[in-house]
Amino acid sequence: MKIAFDAKRAFLNNSGLGNYARTIIKNLYSLSPDLKQYLYSPKVRNNDFYIEVSILQNVSINQPTGLFANIFSSYWRSYTITKKLIEKKIDVYHGLSNELPINIKQFKGKKIVTIHDLIFLRYPHLYPLLDRLIYRRKFYAACKNADIIIAISEETKKDIILFFNIPAQKIKVIYQSCDDSFYKNYTENEIQEVKNTHPLPPSYLLYVGTIEKRKNLLTIVKSLKQVKEIPLIVIGKKTEYFNEIEQYISHNELNSRVVFLENVTNRQLPIIYQNASVFIYPSIFEGFGIPIIEALISKTPVITNQNGCFPEAGGPNSIYIDPFNETLLADKINELLNSEKLRNEIADKGFLYAEKFHKEKITKQLIEIYESNL
**How high is the pLDDT of residue 182?**
93
What residue type is 143 in one-letter code? C
Which CATH fold topology does 2-177+358-371 show? Rossmann fold (3.40.50)
How crowded is residue 342: how many other Cβ atoms within 10 Å of its Cβ?
14
Helix/strand/coil for 190: helix
**How high is the pLDDT of residue 24?**
94
Q: Does residue 296 contact residue 351 with C-beta atoms inside 8 Å?
A: yes
DSSP percent split of the chain into helix, strand, coil, nearest 5: 50, 15, 35
Q: What percent of the chain has pLDDT over 90?
A: 85
Which CATH fold topology does 180-357 show? Rossmann fold (3.40.50)
Exposed, middle or buried, 214 (CB in 10 Å: 0-12/13-18/19+)? middle
**How high is the pLDDT of residue 374?**
61
Identical fold between 2-177+358-371 and 180-357: yes
**How high is the pLDDT of residue 191?**
93
**How high is the pLDDT of residue 327?**
97
Q: Which residues of the chain have pLDDT under 50?
A: none
**How high is the pLDDT of residue 278?**
98
Distances (CA, A) of 158 to 15, 49, 146, 148, 173: 25, 33, 17, 15, 10
Q: What is the pLDDT of residues 99-111, one digit of tens each?
A: 999 999 999 999 9
Distances (CA, A) of 344 to 35, 173, 194, 312: 41, 31, 23, 21
Q: What angle do CA 33, 353, 22 make, to 5 degrees?
A: 35
Q: Report the DSSP pairing between strands 205-208 and 171-173.
A: unpaired
Q: Does residue 130 contact residue 112 with C-beta atoms inside 8 Å?
A: no
Kindly report whether the global pTM for this prediction surpasses the value 0.85.
yes
Q: Any alpha helices (H) in 73-187, and if so which ranges?
A: 73-75, 81-87, 119-122, 129-145, 154-164
Q: Where are the domains of the chain?
A: 2-177+358-371, 180-357
How crowded is residue 140: how many other Cβ atoms within 10 Å of its Cβ?
16
**How high is the pLDDT of residue 170?**
97
Instruction: Please give the Cα distance from 291 to 311 (Å, whole number).
Output: 13
The set of residues, in sequence order, having a beta carbon less than 8 Å from that of 23 and lying 6+ positions away, is 176, 177, 178, 179, 359
Q: Does residue 210 contact residue 237 with C-beta atoms inside 8 Å?
A: yes
Q: Does residue 118 contact residue 140 with C-beta atoms inside 8 Å?
A: no
**How high is the pLDDT of residue 25?**
95
